[in-house]
Amino acid sequence: MLYLKVGTLTGLRPCEWPGAELRRSTRDGFAWMLVVANAKATNRRAQRTLYFAELDLQTADDILAWIRIARSSRYQRLLNTVGRLLWKVTRELWPDRTEWPTLYTTRHLAVAAWKAHFLCRGQADAERLDALATIAALMGHGTDATASQHYARANAGRRVVVPAADPEEVARVRQVIDLHWFKKLIECTEPGPEGGAQSLSATPTP
């Protein structure tokens, strides 16, 4: 499904697609840039830019196709249809679960992949803070508390193309996270001897 493919790559909220623009990059070292008007456009966060070193033509066409759909008059109706299908299919597949995928799950999967890419054990404090700020900038958040609200284990992120954030947007992210606490969180959520998480499960914030 087109929505699932482009959503897990870009991490956009469903409501952000109508205002998104995919362009050839103006930044050296990158082929494409996806400019997004932030849904939560608070102080100094009117938009964010995701830079891709490369995208195959099919993926670029898929993003452009979904942007066209998002700008059409039928977009909200289509989202409602996709949401209902997800509701029906996921409950048939996993009837015993207490939580099921939603339209926002694509965003959550994208963030898990970004955390798998940017965060790792053994990072110096400065490296970790930069990684957290980068993830927050890619999400359109104003603080680095993103990872404290939801930490997806590093191995939870699939191997996907990971965008780069705008350095100026990264610099504007406010540091609020307690690194000592965050390191403890990583230790608690890393796979145990049987390959599963030792503890802690949370639901991502939008």
d(CA 93, CA 35): 36
Question: pTM, whole model, 2 decimals?
Answer: 0.81
Residue 196 has pLDDT above 70, yes or no: no
DSSP-derived 3-state class of residue 1: coil
Best CATH choice for the domain 2-189 from the list 2.20.28, 3.30.70, 1.10.12, 1.10.443: 1.10.443
Residues 133-175 pLDDT 10s: 999 999 999 888 865 555 455 455 456 789 999 999 999 998 8
Could you give the C-alpha distances from 23 to 20, 36, 49, 57, in angstroms and in order?
10, 11, 10, 13
Name residues whose C-beta falls within 8 Å of residue 168's C-beta, 6 or more positions apart in sequence.
none
Average pLDDT over residues 185-195: 54
Average pLDDT over residues 178-203: 51
Cβ pair 135, 146 in contact under 8 A: yes
The residues spanned by each domain of the chain are 2-189
How does residue 205 score in pLDDT terms, banded at 50, 70 and 90?
Answer: very low
> Amino acid letter at 137?
A
